[in-house]
């Protein structure tokens, strides 16, 4: 028993001796707030000063930053007891607007082996140049994009979307009425004359119901001006259209039309390149009112025929034939067909076909 007590006492003594011979790192601060910094002024840095409060030289073996935007540096040589060293943190604000809070983990011959310091602040975004704000060029003009994406639209009512335009030239540019504008669109440029270095807007009014189409749609028009570098410029307009349904309670939904398929996926298995494969998807109106098939759209590589019926009474069935052409294809292929209908709970449903195309 006495022997065990002596051994335990020796181990405790040895632990304290080893601890006493390690470095003890003491930072003047463990968090530094840069406050507000300007993105355009580039990287900022701060030095965390520390003192070795231990009885042995302190050696930092690694400093690991929590992200690539923070670059660490530190005193590489051993820091003697009572002496000081630094851990430097450099933060790059480029393309990092807003608040930030980053850490540096310091590994050394200390107890504990790791210590953590923090930097924080708020990055004020750099002012956008005309090239940043209007990256697409049209002669003397700049626009946010010549592909004007209206996003998701419904058939409820016309919507108005605005897109920026900028005169990057040295003379005024006056706009005439846009040309080749579809009937479901209106295009106006405000102001009608852009002075040099002046911003304006292209205002597009889009009537999705009058377009009479669903899913991803594409239109274009010609922007007309007296710009000496090119007075006529083609502008593309894209959108995704879905049918509008007013809010409905459970009782109303129960009485609505319902599009139900016998399957939504068909796998052709292995097919030879250059051949065509066909399948049919059967569907039923399981609702209480007439079901109307508005549109059938196939992705590239397959075709979908018009259903045998596009207006189905409750309980009626119909079929859609889908054909896959494997010409010029190889390996696993997945294609889709989207069905648009007046089913308020599933107005666009996707059918999927698969095939493994080989040379033999």
Say what the pTM is: 0.71
Return mean pLDDT, the chain. Answer: 91
Residue 2 pLDDT greater than 80, yes or no: no
Residue 7 pLDDT greater than 80, yes or no: no
Q: What is the rounded distance in angstroms from the CA atom of residue 348 to the CA atom of residue 202?
A: 31
Give the tens place of pLDDT for each residue, 277-312: 999 999 999 999 999 999 999 987 678 888 989 999
Residue 16 pLDDT class (50, 70, 90 cuts): very low
Residue 185 pLDDT class (50, 70, 90 cuts): very high
Query: In the chain, what percentage of residues exceed pLDDT 70?
Result: 94
Residue 21 pLDDT class (50, 70, 90 cuts): low
pLDDT score of 12: 40
pLDDT score of 6: 38
Q: In order of start, what are the domains of the chain with their CATH numbers?
A: 23-124 (2.60.40.10), 130-242 (2.60.40.10), 250-358 (2.60.40.10)
Residue 174 pLDDT greater than 90, yes or no: yes
Residue 5 pLDDT greater than 90, yes or no: no
């Amino acid at each position: 028993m006495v022997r065990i007590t002596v051994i335990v006492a020796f181990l405790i003594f040895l632990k304290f001796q080893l601890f006493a011979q390690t470095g003890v790192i003491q930072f003047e601060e463990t968090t530094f707030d840069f406050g507000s910094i300007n993105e355009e002024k580039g990287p900022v840095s701060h030095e965390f000063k520390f003192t070795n409060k231990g009885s042995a030289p302190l050696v930092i073996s690694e400093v690991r930053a929590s992200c690539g935007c923070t670059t660490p540096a530190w005193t590489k040589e051993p820091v003697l007891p009572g002496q000081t060293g630094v851990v430097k943190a450099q933060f790059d604000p480029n393309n990092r607007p807003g608040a930030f809070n980053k850490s540096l983990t310091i590994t050394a011959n200390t107890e504990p082996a790791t210590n953590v310091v923090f930097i924080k602040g708020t990055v004020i975004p750099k002012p956008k140049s005309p090239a940043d704000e209007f990256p697409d060029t049209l002669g003397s003009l700049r626009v946010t994009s010549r592909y004007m994406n209206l996003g998701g639209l419904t058939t409820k009512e016309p919507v108005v979307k605005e897109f920026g335009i900028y005169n990057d030239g040295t003379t005024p540019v006056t706009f005439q009425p846009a040309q080749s504008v579809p009937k479901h669109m209106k295009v106006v440029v405000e102001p009608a004359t852009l002075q040099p270095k002046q911003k304006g807007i292209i205002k597009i009014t889009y009537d999705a119901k009058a377009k009479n189409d669903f899913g991803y749609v594409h239109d274009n028009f010609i922007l007309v001006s007296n710009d000496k570098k090119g007075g006529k410029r083609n502008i593309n307009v894209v959108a995704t259209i879905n049918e509008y349904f007013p809010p409905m309670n459970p009782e109303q939904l129960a009485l609505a039309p319902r599009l139900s398929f016998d399957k939504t996926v068909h796998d052709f298995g292995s097919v030879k390149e250059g051949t065509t494969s066909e399948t049919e998807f059967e569907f039923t109106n399981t609702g209480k009112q007439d079901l109307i098939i508005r549109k059938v759209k196939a992705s590239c590589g397959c075709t979908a025929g018009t259903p045998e019926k596009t207006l189905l009474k409750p309980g009626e069935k119909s079929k859609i034939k889908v054909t896959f052409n494997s010409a010029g294809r190889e390996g696993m292929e997945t294609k889709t067909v989207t069905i648009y209908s007046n089913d308020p709970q599933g107005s666009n449903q996707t059918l999927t076909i698969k095939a493994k195309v080989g040379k033999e």
